[in-house]
Amino acid sequence: MEAYDTGFGWIKVGKKEYNTDVVLVDLGDGNVRVRERDKSHAEIRYGTSHVIDYIEIKSYLTPWRDAGISLIVIGTGQYGKAELDPIARDKLANEGINVVALPTPLALKKWEESNEKKLGIFHVTC
């Protein structure tokens, strides 16, 4: 089981600390896949990384489309400043995927507690 921790500007997954936003995938096989988050669609389109939209989420889900991911956990930053685009929530709900968006410390706890196949997007600053 991985150990997780976070603070302003960082997140720890296992023994490795990242100083950038990360995307985690847990397919229930005991292995958590980690990647540093790419520049988001909203960041390119709107100039901010504080909006997480459907196009960005789908880009992370696509490689795992047959894995049965049923939960997406979004860490909205240490102080909860990032937000999930409401259209993304609706579209994902229509696909049978539950989305939980919380400040990153709380989202990380939700991630740890859930036994579902899941994807996590964690914003590590504001």
Question: What is the rounded (10 degree) CA torsion for 65, 71, 77, 80?
Answer: 130
For the stretch 49-74, pLDDT in tens is 788 889 889 988 999 889 999 999 99
Q: Is 41's pLDDT higher than 70? A: no
pTM metric for this prediction? 0.90
Conformation bin of residue 86: beta by default, left when phi > 0, alpha when psi is -120 to 50: alpha
By residue range, what is the domain housing residue 59? 4-27+42-123
3-state DSSP percent of the chain in helix, strand and coil, to 5: 30, 35, 40
Find tokens 């196949």 and name the residue: 117
Q: How many structural domains are present in the chain?
A: 1
Query: Does any domain span residue 37?
Result: no
CB 108 within 8 A of CB 60: no
Query: Does any domain span residue 16?
Result: yes
Query: Does any domain span residue 21?
Result: yes
